[in-house]
Amino acid sequence: MVTDARRQLVFEAGKGIHEAFIKYNDNFGRITRRARDRFEIRDWRGAERDFVERLELYTKSVDRVVAALNRQLVEVGLDKPLWADIKQSFGDRVSGIADGAFCKTFFNSVSRRVFNTVGADPQTEFLDIRFNVRDAQRHASDIHSYVVWGALAPVLRQLLGDFSFSSLHADRQRDEARIAEALSRHGEAHAGGEELLRIDVLPAVFYQSSGAYLIGQAFWPDHSAPLVIEFRHPEEGVEVAQVMMDVDSISILFGFTRSYFFVDLEPVEGAIHFIHGLLPHKPIDELYTVLGRVRQGKTERYRQFTTHLATCQDRFVHAAGDRGLVMICFTLPSYDLVFKVIRDKFGFPKTSTRDEVIEKYQLVFKHDRAGRLLDTQEFTHIGFPLAKFDQAVIDELMEEASETARIEGDQLVIKHLYVERRLNPLNLFLRECPREAGRAAVVDYGNAIRDLAQTNVFPGDLLLKNFGVTRHGRVIFYDYDELCLVTDCNFREVPEARFEEDEMRQDTWYYVDGNDVFPEEFIRFLAMDDDYRQAFLSAHADLLTVDFWRTMKERHLLNAALERAGGYRTGPGSRHGRPTPRRGYSI
């Protein structure tokens, strides 16, 4: 028999979780809206702090509501039938509303914390959370449309005026001309020279690192193309930095190696639908994630993957590449993800601990990935069908990760794992690719090291196997167990040998501290043939010098000192001549 007291308890619990979500979402929006001011006054460090604060907000919000529920339900206890009623009460509140999936994801986060759920439990969680095209169309974003009746210049003047910043443009006419030239060039190449008909633009500016972006679409009589206008704000004033109209460049901007956008745009599912129309091959979960809705991105990724897993015929196997000393890596050949589990003990010469490895991943979550670090999502207490695993993977997990993985009936339960997009390891890519593509990848390998250094990241282990190649040909670093800050390193030259015997030794004859790095020895990590090595040295010989790394370290230390003093240095130490906030995310 359901008593009035029980009904009231269920009502109050559902209401409390709903109100907690509303408060979280309001705070998320409040922090997001700061991005405009940060951009206009060039407060890049403030933007960095906002990024971390917004990422930590979700976990703090869940923690608070779980603590409140524990106090509220302490007298009656908590069982699954009671929670099922709370779930029903909560579901009635959010049924049919825009972005209702966000609310249900928040509820599931609370539920999983309360019950320490392994896998998914339909009694205590919502399992129908998914991106729905019909809902997205019903809650579509308002679009700003600019019809071109004749001359393009007045239309672009109106567009830039509608999305103007309080800071002046360095040269508004030059910006209009730059956009017009890009549209004209694309029209000549892809639309047969036909006149442009209109431009559609999402109604809010997207902010990422030190850039601001308008996201839209351009239309000709028989052709359409995505249109992204990037703004930067150097000391001289706001300027159009570039106009992107090719899918590959825009896909990278919304990709899994970039920091998350700050954009004050609701409903989010409507914006997702619009962007997915521009980038139809971009997974929905990645779009949610790059828009800052990390938990919803995880939910969508988990749902899509488990749906695929239930119907596919292949099994989990070891991921391609050299065996890792720290991680056990496996993948499902028919799906573009890699799963990584930390080993109980690390192979020689690794000396780090499990906690230190987790800290490295946390560092990446909260750091500017500069388009060169892989976005990795952290999952806990996940159950997989045991029958879906190759026996070799099961054996390695049971023998070398038994503290994390266990078998329960017909399930393989993993207490803690990382999930990331699957890339082609650089060392394997160079063995198989055409020479021209290989030389380009080797040069971009150096670009990746350089880009990371500019954001105060030193990869630590520069072996080619720790870098991967995307389908766009970009080289990405993805092995974080030895990653550290440039400012934590002591860059040294190899001392001159005192005796001939010293040079003959296999080990070092001079003292090496834990933070010492010898750039001239990086060449030993370049396991390339002479052709590839020459391509690398022609473009990046300075990466093998102490001067490059010491200069980079000094710039980061100076920027940090000026920040503490209330100022900031802009200059060649930052990308585009401007300070670049470190960005990332935490789970």
Catalytic positions = 375
Cα 173 from Cα 150, distance rounded (Å): 18
Say how far apart CA 24 and CA 153 lie, in whole Å.
43
Residues 264 and 34: beta-carbon distance below 8 Å: no
The whole-angstrom separation of Cα 320 and Cα 329 is: 9
Question: Following DSSP, what letter does each residue of 37-80 receive, concatenated?
Answer: HHHHTT-HHHHHHHHHHHHHHHHHHHHHHHHHHHHHTTTT---H
User: How would you classify the pairing of strands 239-244 and 317-318?
Assistant: unpaired
Please list, in sequence order, all residues whose beta carbon lies within 8 angstroms of the beta carbon of residue 27, skipping any fewer than 6 positions away.
57, 61
d(CA 553, CA 560): 11
Cβ within 8 Å of residue 414, ≥6 positions away: 339, 341, 379, 381, 382, 383, 384, 397, 404, 405
- Side-chain-side CA neighbours of residue 570 (13 Å): 14
d(CA 226, CA 248): 11
Identify the helix (H) or strand (E) that includes residue 201.
Answer: strand 198-201
Helix extents (H) in 455-579: 500-504, 530-540, 546-564
> Nearest to residue 552, comparing CAs of 459, 481, 489?
489
Q: Where are the beta strands (DSSP E) in 302-421?
A: 317-318, 327-331, 337-342, 377-385, 405-408, 411-421
| Contacts for 478-481: CB closer than 8 Å, 24+ residues apart | 478/373, 478/374, 478/376, 478/420, 478/423, 479/324, 479/326, 479/327, 480/357, 480/360, 480/361, 480/363, 480/364, 480/373, 481/326, 481/327, 481/350, 481/352, 481/356, 481/357, 481/360
Burial 111-131 (b: 16+ CB within 10 A, else e): bbebbebbebbeebbbeebeb
Of 295, 401, 413, 281, the closest CA to residue 21 belongs to 295
Q: Which residue has the tokens 């496996």?
A: 330
